[in-house]
Amino acid sequence: MASGNTQIIPNSPVPPPSPSSRSTQQFAYEVFLSFRGEDTRHSFIDHLYQALISHGIHTFRDDDELERGGVIASDLQKAIEESKIFVIILSPNYANSRWCLDELVEISQRQRRILPIFYHVDQSDVRKQTGSYEQAFVDHEKEADEEKKEKIQKWRIALMKVGNLAGYDLQKYGHETSLIKKIVDDILEELNSKLAE
């Protein structure tokens, strides 16, 4: 009898793919992490990143992957273009960052898998821009000219889109380690299923 993580294929000439044998033909990264550093960098993101790379998943995290002295905007743009799956950690201060919101707009325009994580925020607050997200937009809208108003509208649309996706709510998992295990398992399953196509 096979365990939950073991796959037995009788009389199969080719063994099932291992994480290190996954194809990254057109993608430099299998996973791109989008997060607000002050909320999660030295806790949740660090643990998630370590779990992903320990399973052989090539992961982009801005503080690790950007070359020193590189142009951050173009480096991030390139990393987004070259990523297969986007994991967006929507934390209480995510919407305070214009940088995070611009990144989210770029990500939401891609026809790729987006996995939102609702980290100490309610999914409806993200979708409707209420709670801490409402206050962030009040601050963004202060003295906004027409160009910034257009950008704010794009931010709102991107948050609504991501807020409508099925994602992971930390509160439902209780412990960060349980949530991280579920995310890594789901990403591995998705990456390995793409190989089978």
Catalytic residues: 103
Q: Is 195 exposed, middle or buried (0-12, 13-18, 19+ CB in 10 A)?
A: exposed
Q: Between helices 176-196 and 44-54, what is the axis angle to 10°?
A: 40
> What phi and psi values does residue 112 have, to the nearest 5 degrees?
-135, 170
Strands (E), 91-150: 113-118
Collapse the DSSP code of 30 into the 3-class scheme (helix H, G, I; strand E, B; otherwise coil) and give the result. strand
What residues pair up with 20 in beta bridges, in sequence order?
A: none
CA-CA distance, 30 to 127, in Å (whole number)?
26
Sequence-distant (≥ 6) Cβ neighbours of residue 128 within 8 angstroms: 160, 163
What type of residue is 133? Answer: Y
